[in-house]
Amino acid sequence: MDKNKFIFIEQTGEESETVRPSLTYWQDAWRRLKKNKLSMIGIFTVILIVLFGTIGPSFTGYSYSDQVNKYKNLAPRLELYEINGEYFHVSKDYNVFRVTSDGTLIDRLELNPLNRDMLKKVYKYTYGDDFVILDFSYNLLPTKMGYDYNQTLEYKGEVVTQPAMTKWNKMYPFGTDGLGRDLLTRVMYGARISLLVAFIATMANLFIGVIYGSISGFEGGKLDNIMMRIVDIINSVPLTLYVILLMVWFRGGGLMNIIIALSSVYWVSMARLVRGQMLSLKEQEFVLAARVMGVSKSKIIFKHLIPNAMGPIIVSMAMMIPSAVFTESFLSFIGLGVSAPQASWGTLANNALPGLTTYPYQLFFPALSIAFTMLAFNFIGDGLRDALDPRLRKG
């Protein structure tokens, strides 16, 4: 072998290899979680939803119970008719509003019952010393989508048949409901209730399920058999039906009753998960060493076994939150949720059903909030599962 073909590196006394700094288990998990774009989007979305529900209502100027009946059932987008330099909006229930050119509501025009011709479908609204005449008689006009009603608006002899422009509702960005309440504010308060119920139910799931499953799995034998049969009995009834039965037994809805009902059954799946982890971990050498040293069973469970099972526990918690949000919304939707005038997303969806075809936006916004929340937590749960799984560790 020819030595001239080799080039020797000068000795500098420094290591030639680049050594990556050692990371703890949680630091490594966070490093891998940050690489998951969907999980980071989910975390960012959850932060926005929490801020939306906690500090958002302070910027709207309304409360969830404030009613302005003259502004009921107003859409987020307003079609403006321009007549003689004035702008008017006609709502779906044939109320006429004065509006500025940028979409700010000024007032609703008064309609005297004597000026309402129900046969000819002609309404006269008082505006100063004159009238604004709305004619929505059933004269069908052909359109690209089929046929539409011939709706005209007349003021001071000038008649218009088509809106001049469409503007966002400046006063009520999400529109209003049938009682004139600001839908944006009610969706914000709904976020508070839905997330509060979900987080409390999840914390109860953590404490009850982890302790119950740890004792069952660590003790084993007859005690484990009895404890798991109790879990089987609870599991024999569908979760949603069980919660509904509890709510009926509590004689109605209410925030506290929902929290108690969810907390009483949500720990079952966590208990099964933790029991399986305990059955595996209690056979490890460090548990045997702790027993030989005389460490009590409670210290072995809480200081050795549970910390080593925190990865699956955290992933399960993240997955349970969207399920709790959906269950709370469902209970509110069927009338077992919070009582009026409080609002949760399920209550808002239920209130929107009677006018679904006429005012679809009243259902759209709470449904969209539920969907975004569930997607965000599912993204976080998927990312945590990948980040906390030791088998997926990469360089």
Q: Mark whether 217 and 270 lie in a shared domain.
A: yes
Residue-wise DSSP of 288-312: HHHHHTT--HHHHIIIIIHHHTHHH
Q: In whole angstroms, what is the distance from residue 336 CA to residue 189 CA?
A: 18
Domain boundary among 137, 168, 199: 168
Mean pLDDT value across the chain:
82
User: How much is the pLDDT for 185?
Assistant: 92
Q: Mark whether 224 and 353 lie in a shared domain.
A: yes
Residue 33 lies in a domain: no
Domain residues for the domain of 331 are 183-392
Q: Domain total for the chain?
A: 2
Q: Mark whether 151 and 300 lie in a shared domain.
A: no
Q: Mark whether 206 and 275 lie in a shared domain.
A: yes
Q: Mark whether 246 and 163 lie in a shared domain.
A: no
Mean pLDDT, range 12-17, rounded to an integer:
52
Which band of pLDDT confidence, cut at 50, 70 and 90, is reported for residue 98? Answer: very high
User: How much is the pLDDT for 145?
Assistant: 47
Res. 394: pLDDT tops 60: no
Q: How many CB atoms lie within 10 A of CB 324?
A: 25
Q: Mark whether 217 and 319 lie in a shared domain.
A: yes
Residues 6 or more apart in contact with residue 297 via CB below 8 angstroms: 218
Q: Mark whether 198 and 119 lie in a shared domain.
A: no
For the stretch 18-41, pLDDT in tens is 556 677 777 777 888 888 899 999
Res. 2: pLDDT tops 80: no
User: How much is the pLDDT for 187?
Assistant: 93
